[in-house]
Amino acid sequence: MDFEHVLVVGAGQMGGGIAQVVAASGRRVSLHDPYPGAVERGLAGIRESLERLGADVDGTLARITVVDDLVAADLLIEAIVEDGAAKEDIFRRADAALPPDAILASNTSSIPITSLAAVIGRPDRVIGMHFFNPAPVLQLVEVIRGLDTSDETAAAIVALARDLGKTPAEANDFPGFVSNRILMPFINEAAYALLEGVAEAEAIDTIARLGFAHPMGPLALADLIGLDTCVAIMDVLHAGLGDQKYAPCPLLRQHVQAGRLGRKSGRGFYTYA
Ligand SMILES: NC(=O)c1ccc[n+]([C@@H]2O[C@H](COP(=O)([O-])OP(=O)(O)OC[C@H]3O[C@@H](n4cnc5c(N)ncnc54)[C@H](O)[C@@H]3O)[C@@H](O)[C@H]2O)c1
C-alpha cells in the first residue's frame, strides 16, 4: 500500500511532526485539530522545523491541507491527547469516515491498541505507529500490534515507516509497549530523586547525560515530552501492570496540577523562554 493520502488528527508537537514527516515523503496530508489555535501553532512549528532542517518549506507545506472534520484517506494517524476515551471517540468517527480498507493507526504512548480496535468494525486494520519526539529528527517508529492486528496491516506499516526514512521496531500490546515501559520508570525515578532532595534538577540531568551518554537528562526529557503526557503514561502502566512501582511520582502530578506541563507551557522542571 502506498498511503497516498494520510489523515493526521491532533496538531500538537507529535501530530505536527508526523504531518511534516509524511508530507516530506511526497504524500498528501490532511491535518485536523478542532482546538482554537492548535492547527496554526502546528503549522508554525512545521515551518520552523523545515527551515531548521534546510528542507523544502513551501513544497512540504503545500502538501498539508487543514480540514475541519475527519475526511476519507488511506491511513489515519491519530496523535491527540493521551486519553483513552478521547482516542476511542476518534477511532469510532474515523471508522465511519475512512474507506473500509484504510488502516487506522495511533501514535499513542501507552493506550492499549487492542482497546482502540475493540470499538470499531475493523480490528485487523488497527495498529500502533509510535513516533518519537521530535518526529522529524528521531529515527525510531515503534510498531505495536493489537490482539487482532493482521500480518498484512503490520507489514504495510513497517514498510511505510521505512519509506518515511525511519527504522521500525515491532512490539506487542502490553502496557507502555517497550519504549515507555523502560523510559517512564526512569523519568519517574528521577522525579523521586528530585523530590527527596538527592540532588538538584541540573545535577540529576548532568549525571544522566555525562554518566550514561544520554543526549538529554530525564527531567529535561520529561519537560520535552510534556509532564501531563508522562503522568498519563504512568497511570496506564500502574493500572495495567498493577505494581506500585509504576505509580506516578507525586511531584510529577503536582507540576501538572499547577499547569507546569514542561516546554509546551513554558515551565516544568525548568523554565523556558
Ligand atoms: N510528547 C511526546 O514526546 C510523545 C512521543 C510519542 C508519542 N506521544 C503521543 O502523541 C500523542 C500526542 O502527544 P503530544 O505530545 O503531541 O501532545 P500535545 O499536547 O502537544 O498535542 C495534543 C493535541 O491534540 C489535540 N486534541 C485534543 N483532543 C483532540 C480531539 N478530540 N480531536 C483532535 N485533536 C485533539 C490538542 O488540541 C493538541 O493540539 C499522545 O498520545 C502522546 O502520548 C507523545
CATH of the domain at 226: 1.10.1040.10
Full-model pTM = 0.96
State the residue range of the domain holding 134: 5-172
User: Which residue puts its alpha carbon closest to atom 39 of ligand 1?
Assistant: 12
Q: What is the pLDDT along the chain (273 residues), one digit of tens a residue?
A: 899 999 999 999 999 999 999 999 999 999 999 999 999 999 999 999 999 999 999 999 999 999 999 999 999 999 999 999 999 999 999 999 999 999 999 999 999 999 999 999 999 999 999 999 999 999 999 999 999 999 999 999 999 999 999 999 999 999 999 999 999 999 999 999 999 999 999 999 999 999 999 999 999 999 999 999 999 999 999 999 999 999 999 999 999 999 999 999 999 999 998
Q: How far apart are CA 170 and CA 161, in angstroms?
A: 11
* Final residue belonging to a domain, choices 140, 172, 204: 172
Atom 21 in ligand 1: which residue has the minimum CA distance?
12
Q: Return the residue matching grid coordinates 523545515.
A: 50
- Which atom of ligand 1 lies at the shortest distance from residue 9's CA? 33
Q: Where are the beta strands (DSSP E) in 26-83?
A: 28-32, 64-66, 75-78
**Distance from C-alpha of 49 to C-alpha of 238, rounded to nearest angstrom:** 35
Determine whether the shortest distance from the Cβ of 21 to ligand 1 is under 6 A.
no
Of 115, 142, 172, the one marking the end of a domain is 172
**CA 173 to ligand 1 center in whole angstroms:** 20
In a domain, 251, yes or no: yes
Residues acting as catalytic residues: 109, 130, 142, 180
Q: Are residues 131 and 220 in the same domain?
A: no
* CATH code for position 111: 3.40.50.720
